[in-house]
């Protein structure tokens, strides 16, 4: 979550792909995450 005069450059959900599982087929976490890059005002 963010508020203010920002622009979103990129957003990605991580930890939701089958390839993210460990070699024993466990998920590394019990939920996915969100990574975002924001452009700050100058």
Contacts of 36 (CB under 8 A, 6+ apart): 2, 8, 9, 10, 11, 12
What pLDDT is recorded for position 35? 94
Q: Which domain holds residue 26?
A: 7-39
Per the domain annotation, does 19 fall within a domain? Answer: yes
Residues 14/27, Cβ–Cβ less than 8 Å: no
pTM of the model: 0.62
Average pLDDT, integer, range 21-26: 93
Residue 24: inside a domain: yes
Structural domains counted in the chain: 1
What is the average pLDDT value for the chain, to the nearest integer? 90
- 26: in domain: yes
Does residue 12 belong to any structural domain of this protein? yes
Q: Considering the domain boundaries, does residue 35 fall inside one?
A: yes
């Amino acid at each position: 979550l963010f508020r203010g005069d920002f622009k979103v450059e990129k957003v990605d959900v991580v930890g939701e792909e089958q390839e993210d599982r460990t070699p024993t087929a466990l998920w590394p976490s019990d939920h996915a995450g969100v990574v975002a890059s924001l452009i700050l005002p100058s």
